């Protein structure tokens, strides 16, 4: 057999193998249940409903996190204290990353990132926003203006107090989601979020005590 014929046949067989592998992968994706859905359920069941705890938590906590990141940036630029700046960086990095994850899940579920539904409705007790505070624990516009105007130790104490209240409400929301969500993604993230924020609440209590202030 000539080299040209052997080469031609090799290319043909290679093409056949690529086709077989491609078909196998497609069939695997079609037949295999989604990792996010219960065994034996259809793909549609993996998408949380609009009124679910999963969607409500992802949407509300994204807003909650956004304000925490904003406050952390504010205090970072108003103090030279290494401990406070380190805490601010941790909050910025952690909560911005978590917010991105939650918004990504909303996108993948084809759910809007914002809604006219009252905040916290998924928890069974919707709230009415007041002075820019959209949910429990969130700072009001007046409090944010005070933080913007503060400097040094005053900024540190105000930030630590506001963030303690923010974290307490956030941890409550996260615990509720960990118990009520239907997806592993939200349950896992929410449980970890509650533990981390409780730990930071203890840290901030110590930092306030070191500055002669109460939470």
| Residues 100-158: tens digit of each pLDDT | 999 999 999 999 999 998 999 999 989 999 999 999 999 999 999 999 999 999 999 99
Q: Does 39 score more than 60 pLDDT?
A: no
Q: What is the mean pLDDT of residues 20-48?
A: 43
Spatial separation of the C-alpha atoms in residues 64 and 14, rounded to whole Å: 54
pLDDT value of position 74: 98
Going by the DSSP 8-state scheme, the letter that residue 80 receives in this structure is -
Residue 182: pLDDT over 50 = yes
Check residue 60 and report its DSSP letter.
H
pTM of the model: 0.78
Residue of 204, 202, 98 lying closest to 159 (CA atoms): 204
pLDDT at 36 over 70: no
- Please choose, from the candidates 195, 184, 10, 4, the residue with its C-alpha nearest in 3D space to the C-alpha of residue 94: 195
Average pLDDT over residues 201-206: 98
Average pLDDT over residues 153-165: 98
pLDDT at site 25:
36
Angle at 85 between CA 82 and CA 91, to 5 degrees: 140
Q: Are 102 and 56 in contact (CB under 8 A)?
A: no
| Two tokens, residue 154 | 């005053």
Average pLDDT, the chain: 84
pLDDT digits (tens, 9 = 90+) for 59-110: 999 999 999 999 999 999 999 999 999 999 999 999 999 999 999 999 999 9
The answer to whether 95 and 65 have CB atoms below 8 angstroms apart is yes
């Amino acid at each position: 057999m000539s080299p040209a014929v052997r080469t031609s046949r090799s290319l043909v067989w290679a093409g056949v193998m690529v086709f077989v592998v491609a078909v196998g992968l497609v069939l695997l994706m079609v037949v295999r249940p989604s990792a996010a859905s219960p065994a034996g359920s259809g793909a549609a069941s993996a998408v949380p409903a609009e009124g679910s705890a999963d969607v409500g938590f992802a949407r509300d906590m994204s807003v909650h996190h956004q304000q925490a990141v904003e406050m952390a940036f504010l205090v970072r630029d108003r103090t030279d204290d290494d401990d406070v700046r380190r805490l601010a960086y941790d909050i910025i990095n952690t909560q911005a990353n978590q917010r991105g994850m939650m918004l990504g899940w909303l996108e993948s579920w084809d759910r809007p990132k914002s809604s006219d539904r009252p905040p916290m409705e998924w928890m069974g007790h919707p709230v009415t926003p007041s002075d820019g505070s959209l949910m429990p624990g969130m700072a009001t516009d007046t409090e944010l203006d005070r933080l913007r105007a503060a400097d040094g130790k005053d900024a540190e104490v105000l930030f630590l107090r506001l963030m303690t209240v923010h974290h307490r409400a956030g941890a409550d929301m996260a615990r509720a989601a960990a118990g009520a969500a239907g997806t592993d993604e939200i349950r896992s993230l929410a449980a970890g979020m509650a533990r981390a924020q409780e730990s930071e609440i203890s840290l901030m209590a110590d930092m306030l005590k070191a500055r002669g202030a109460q939470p």
